[in-house]
Amino acid sequence: MTDFHFYVKFDQTLLLGQRAKNVPELLEGIRRVPESCIYYHTHRFLQQHHYLSPEPPNDFAYWVTEVLGDKVLGEQLSSVDTIQFESISGLRDRFVSLIESHLSSGAKTVDCFPGEEFHFIASRTFAAPTPYIAHNLGEFRDILQRVSISTLYYHIFDAKLRLKRGENDFSKWFDSNGMSALAEAVRNLDPYTYTLEGLRKRILTLTKEHDPD
């Protein structure tokens, strides 16, 4: 069996100095900002409010709804189902097409009040190995119980989209060690619909259910 090395991640928040005061400017920004900015605005809420109920909104939807008062576009943007996307560019394209179609339908655009602009923000990710290494499923479970939320976040969310590994690190490890049913079960979770502690518990339960020992 190969080892699983747990990592922890830290994020640095970068201000891009770009802002939008209405929907067309938001669209323009979404088109040209770096991918780390799209990732930030679609995952920030999850990370900063990980103790809250699931189904967090993305920042674009929140701003359009709460600041511009555009409930229709806001609802469309909040319904973007992040789990379905294999890449950040795909996620970006979805936001672009929703906003383009909203604008081409003749929807009226308004400017926000001064001081309430949307500020584009990106992040840099710093990943570091922890001392925790699992050599089997039992150890994996013991370690997963005590590592920080940032570790869980890194291996589940960052791994797939931010690090472009195509899937979460846990499923990849389970697969490569002959635990394909467990890999599939974890792969099939929609992590965006759990709080991070809820997600930790769910994965722990799955590892127990699939543990031959």
List of residues contacting another protein (CB under 8 A): 8, 10, 12-17, 34, 36, 48-52, 66, 115, 117, 119, 121, 124-128, 130, 146-148, 150-151, 162-163
Count other Cβ atoms within 10 Å, centred on residue 166.
11
Nearest to 199 by CA among 152, 155, 167: 152
Q: How far is the CB of 136 from another protein (least distance, A)?
A: 23
Give the span between the Cα atoms of 153 and 174, in whole angstroms.
18
Q: How far is the CB of 26 from another protein (least distance, A)?
A: 14
Give the span between the Cα atoms of 85 and 129, in whole angstroms.
27
What's phi and psi for 24, nearest 5 deg? -60, -40
Q: How far is the CB of 51 from another protein (least distance, A)?
A: 5
Q: How far is the CB of 124 from another protein (least distance, A)?
A: 6
Which token pair is 59? 């920042």
Q: How far is the CB of 104 from another protein (least distance, A)?
A: 30
Between 58 and 151, CB nearer to another protein: 151
Between 124 and 135, CB nearer to another protein: 124
Position 14: which residue type?
Answer: L
Residue 146 · residue 204 · CB < 8 Å: no
Please enumerate in sequence order all residues whose Cβ is within 8 A of that of 182, keeping only pairs 6 or more positions apart, or say none. 137, 174, 206, 207, 210
Between 116 and 190, CB nearer to another protein: 116
Between 80 and 121, CB nearer to another protein: 121
β pairing state of 118-134 and 4-20? antiparallel
Between 116 and 209, CB nearer to another protein: 116
